[in-house]
Amino acid sequence: MARKRIKPSAKTRAGLRLRLLGGLHAEWDGKPVVLESNKNAALLVYLAVTRAPQTRAKLAGLFWCDWDEAQARHYLSRALWDIARRIPTQPSILIPTPQTVAFNPQSPHWIDVEEFERIADLSRAALSNLQSAIALCRGDFLDGVFLNDCPEFETWMTTQRARLRELAIDALTRLLADSIAQGRAGYPAGIAYARRLLDLEPWHEESHRQLMLLLARTGQRSAALAQYETCRRALTNELKVTPSPETTRLYERIRAAEAAPAPRLPPQPTPFLGRERELAEIARLLAHPSCRLLTLVGPGGVGKTRLALEAAAQSATEFLHGVHWVPLGAVSSPEFLLSAIADSIKFTCPGRQDAKVQLLECLREKEMLLLLDGFEHLLLSPGGGGEQGGVNALAEMLEGAPDLKLLVTSRARLNSRWEQVFEVKGLGYPDF
């Protein structure tokens, strides 16, 4: 069960507040805390984050390693006095003994790192909590803090920074995947998450590709192409490598899609009204990576074609190569199905090679939605032998073209292993 986020109480808000993600900012009772030195502030942070009691000898060596033991212990005592007088919480923020010093968990306080770690635990965190966790991340842990004469503290700080950065990357990766799965409703947030990921890891190619796709699917194809150049420069500067073939192919696909004329769906004589829930569910299904073949099933005259056309129109920008309507009423046999698809996407077979092979090769590089309208008479091959006829052709296309999706209208199910079914029912009459 996901843990609920617990908001700080009024008492906590009046106590110590430490913001460590993106710098170092301390407040007590709503006012900034200014300690005598950065080293004193670093000591407070170290005690607050480690939580375990630390020996005075260890702390003295950690922050004043260039001094003899007696002088180092003197500086430690003065630093502890400075912290106590600047942050006069009740009970005290620190628990000192002759041998150790510990942060007091009972003292009123709020620390962004503590909150971030608690709600960013991927084994328990709900997506809403991950959003709250990422909102806390203004940057890296103790960004801009340097203690050059404290090498052990610098090592500890670097280790903590890397650990917290990995937590942030994991949370952003999960949020980005969820945004993509939501379809167009999640794309704006997905773009923001992808950019945050690239701020953390500018050389991460998969994040560049995801951002390119999201930009292209929201109609920002020029920005998607520019993102490829950003990716290329980052890889060259950081890793001395060039983009992978997968990233380059995506760039070429987006560039080709930008140059191609936008496909057109048939105009409708009247505005589309109603069926908001059906449209939302169809959009959700089409956006999910596992949905490759969606069949709208219903009796004749129920409105399958009109609903499919509206759903396709609303999803047009989500496919790099758009949506294409393939009317099947005049297609007399499954053997002519591929020819109808070729006509719809304006594909002409060059040379004397096998037309089917060339069409499948063309579809292999496309990210598009084909709306196959009126499929029921193509379910079986001629002769009544029980073969699945046109269904086999659809399966062959889906196997060879990983970014192709099919939206089919039919009076009967296709019974394909690729198929997800959406039943279209008649519109009810309003109450008077």
pTM, 2 dp: 0.74
CA separation for the pair 408, 422 (Å, rounded): 10
The confidence score (pLDDT) of residue 11 equals 39
Q: Residue 1: its pLDDT value, please?
A: 37
In the chain, list all ranges with CATH 3.40.50.300.
276-423
Closest alpha carbon to 216 in 403, 10, 419: 403
CA-to-CA distance for 103 and 232, rounded, in angstroms? 47
Q: What's the full length of the chain, in residues?
A: 432
Q: Kind of pairing, strands 100-103 and 54-55?
A: antiparallel
Instruction: Place 56 in a pLDDT band, splitting at 50, 70 and 90.
Output: very high
- 380 contacts 336 by C-beta, under 8 angstroms: no
pLDDT, residue 427, reads 72
pLDDT for 355 equals: 78
Q: CATH 1.10.10.10 spans which residues of the chain?
A: 1-201
345-352: Cβ within 8 A, 24+ apart: 345/263, 345/370
Confidence of residue 151 (pLDDT cuts 50, 70, 90): very high
Torsion of CA 264, 267, 268, 270, to 10 degrees: 120
Pick the CATH number of 276-423 from 3.40.50.300, 3.10.20.30, 3.10.580.10, 1.10.3720.10: 3.40.50.300
Which pLDDT score is estimated for 432? Answer: 43
pLDDT in tens, 401-428: 998 999 999 999 999 999 999 999 877 6
Residue 342 in tokens: 């070729």
Q: 70-84, 222-236, 272-286 — which is least confidently predicted?
A: 272-286
What gap in Å lies between CA 3 and CA 119, rounded to an integer?
7
* pLDDT at residue 350, rounded to an integer: 65
Strands, E, within 213-271: which ranges? Answer: none
pLDDT 10s digits, 14-30: 589 999 999 999 999 88
Quick check: 280 pLDDT over 80? yes
| φ, ψ for residue 357, nearest 5 deg | -60, -45
Question: Residues with Cβ < 8 Å from 114, sequence gap 6 or more?
Answer: none
Give me the pLDDT at residue 6, please: 39
CATH of 1-201, one of 1.10.10.10, 3.20.20.370, 3.50.50.60, 2.60.120.1360: 1.10.10.10
pLDDT in tens, 242-256: 999 999 999 998 888
Q: Mean pLDDT for the chain?
A: 88
Q: Quickly state the pLDDT bin for 367 (edges 50, 70, 90).
A: confident
Three-state SS for 132? helix
For 180-203, write each residue's pLDDT tens digit. Answer: 888 778 899 999 999 999 999 999
Please check whether residue 254 is in contact with residue 216, taking contact to mean a CB–CB distance below 8 angstroms: yes
